[in-house]
Structure 1
């Protein structure tokens, strides 16, 4: 259950990372839209400010004209009053002059109010322009802050995904370690590590295996004094434990139950028992070794002498000369070997 749950965690974190990635993309689009809208709004606000500025100029000119008209009307009013006193104009004409003066005076006041209103609109347009820029900066800062937060969360999620994937790979690899593969096919001869749930260290021995298709060989040991007599390629006869044999010393041709071998390797150094190990394999020119022969079976090795005439052997025995090839005559002096 550990692997499926870890896989689910990896998938969930991957979805989270993709969600944050989508959020980052959406915020980037939002920021781009804000920039485009801000350009349009700024252009609109600048146009409005320009209109307000032109209106202020127009109202200022109108006010100047109203002041001129007011001054002219005031002068005409004063002149009419003097003419009325002198009796040069009628009272009706005086009233007409007074009415026109009041209209000019009202026009002046209206122009002043209109100019003040235009100035207020100009100030409002400038404030709106600054407000648009400030609002854009606030929205942009918030959107970028959200985007960076989403990016940070996305990176954290991706880091978690990588960590979980490594953890999943470790779990998967450890699951594969539940089955330890031997370097070759064979049979278990001995279990060294036993028990359920044991922790196995790297390089620790677990079991001893016997190869399934190993080529059988006999492991013989010889004394150092006999080592010069042994050479690679020499013939050897064996008596295997469990297979009866009849041996005639000096007459291997008529011996029965023995099996032939050939020396294939000799150690270059003595073993812990101060003897040299000699490996002997099956002689292809002789009968096959028994099929039921197993690794670890005991065997007695007999090194073969050279074939000599009978008179030579009698002469050698009489003179005490060594044999052409040394052989141990006693069974307890024969080399023991395990296969």
Structure 2
């Protein structure tokens, strides 16, 4: 009817000029494409909203070491001195016990190079003096024992003599009393004889014999009285001798004990001086060893804090910084206080080190590229700096090993991984400013009394 066919088409010029209304009524191709794209993106976005998203806590920090002995340290001088020789260069590797630098003495009292020999001689002289005092103490002790033994013997002898005199006094007193009775009898017989003589009953010779017997008996009584008095004097002398012996030996023993106490005092003084000399000798011997500053462990010399020859350093002043060899590397991350209750020992962490290119999807750690795994080993019980809490993260043995080129102090960005939630929930949480949620309460916020030793031993085994 219109005469339009594939071989007989409407002229394009006529179509554009005469049929422009049809063009207006048509939907533009660009709009169709945009609509398709928007519909597709909306569908994709809707699907994505229900994909799982792993919640995480973001924190930054630095590379460090898990064990304190693996962290950078300074080598300090225990004594004041003057540098006379450097034995190492910066960046050089040193073994434990290698000399870093040599010092010379700066204090006058230690200038004598033979000071140790002098102190040794003084110690030997003092030891000889102590030996002599010990011998004197032994001799005085033996002397006191001998005096005490002699005192016992002398006192025993004097007591025996006193006892003998007492027995003699008793015997003489008995004889004297008996003779006094005989004298009384003789006098009575004489009186009766005189009466009988007057009566003529006895002759004069009998009377004279009675008188003679009275005189003889009286003489015996006087003689025995003299013996009694002599015995009493001997007893008194024996007692005086006994007291004299006690006083004499007490004086000798007291003098010996005084000498013994003096010797012991000098011995104690000598032992005190010897102990002082021994301490001084030991200190000087140790001080001589301090002239050589040695490396406390296998390490690299990072920086010399003192330079040149002849420079003087003070006691306890640092002279060099060293970095231990083969440290057990860890990461120190600093988290906000509100995030600390969500963390626990052993929780997984993803790490991005400065200098290593990475593409991190914090909610999808499985598709991240260039990040490394770790696990929380320590959570500080107090804040560390700027109101944040430090956590120490060690390498995850189930993940790729950390780069060997890591240096302590390098920056690190970390994500502590929590539980999985839908993306729409995470968006809603972020918009409302809610904290992440946990299905279960963390068991340990810091090392517990039961787990700390096991974790420490496990760390040492991993280091070995």
Q: TM-score, normalised by structure 2?
A: 0.41
Report what 2:166 is aligned to. Answer: 53
Contact 1:13-1:157 within 8 A present in 2 as well: yes
Tell whether 2:213 aligns with 1:100.
yes
Contact 2:158-2:238 within 8 A present in 1 as well: yes
> Closer, same or farther in 2 for the Cα pair 1:155/1:92, shift >3 Å?
same
> Closer, same or farther in 2 for the Cα pair 1:20/1:192, shift >3 Å?
same
SS at match of 2:316: coil
- Structure 1 residue corresponding to 2:177, chosen from 64, 68, 89: 64
Superposed, which structure 2 residues align to 1:1-339 within 5 Å?
1-181=114-294, 192=307, 194-195=309-310, 198=312, 200-205=314-319, 264-265=405-406, 268-269=410-411
Contact 2:305-2:319 within 8 A present in 1 as well: no
Report the Cα offset of residue 53 of structure 1: 1.6
Report the Cα offset of residue 150 of structure 1: 1.9
Contact 2:130-2:270 within 8 A present in 1 as well: yes
Report what 1:252 is aligned to. Answer: none
Residue-by-residue CA offset, 1:170-190 (whole Å, 9 max, x unaligned): 12222333344467899xx99
Contact 1:24-1:150 within 8 A present in 2 as well: yes
Cα distance between partner residues in 1 of 2:176 and 2:139: 54
Q: Greater share of strand residues, 1 or 2?
A: 2
Cα distance between partner residues in 2 of 1:139 and 1:72: 57
Cα distance between partner residues in 1 of 2:316 and 2:203: 132
SS at match of 1:205: strand
Residue-by-residue CA offset, 1:62-85 (whole Å, 9 max, x unaligned): 001110121122223334444444
Contact 2:169-2:231 within 8 A present in 1 as well: yes
Cα distance between partner residues in 2 of 1:152 and 1:168: 24
Q: TM-score, normalised by structure 1?
A: 0.54
Q: CA RMSD in A?
A: 3.8
Cα distance between partner residues in 1 of 2:130 and 2:308: 45
Residue-by-residue CA offset, 1:268-293 (whole Å, 9 max, x unaligned): 249xxxxxxxxxxxxxxxxxxxxxxx
Cα distance between partner residues in 1 of 2:196 and 2:305: 147
Contact 1:3-1:171 within 8 A present in 2 as well: yes
> Closer, same or farther in 2 for the Cα pair 1:94/1:162, shift >3 Å?
same
Report what 1:243 is aligned to. Answer: none
Aligned residues: 222
Higher relative contact order (CA 8 A, sep 6+): 2
Cα distance between partner residues in 2 of 1:76 and 1:193: 135
Cα distance between partner residues in 2 of 1:21 and 1:163: 19
Residue-by-residue CA offset, 1:234-261 (whole Å, 9 max, x unaligned): xxxxxxxxxxxxxxxxxxxxxxxxxxxx
Residue-by-residue CA offset, 1:27-75 (whole Å, 9 max, x unaligned): 2222322333333333323322221121111111100111012112222
> Closer, same or farther in 2 for the Cα pair 1:199/1:190, shift >3 Å?
closer
Contact 1:193-1:205 within 8 A present in 2 as well: no
> Closer, same or farther in 2 for the Cα pair 1:113/1:9, shift >3 Å?
same
Cα distance between partner residues in 2 of 1:62 and 1:71: 14
Report the Cα offset of residue 15 of structure 1: 1.6
Gaps of 5+ in 1: 210-225, 231-262, 271-339
Contact 2:187-2:214 within 8 A present in 1 as well: yes
Gaps of 5+ in 2: 1-113, 323-353, 359-403, 413-464
Cα distance between partner residues in 2 of 1:190 and 1:78: 135
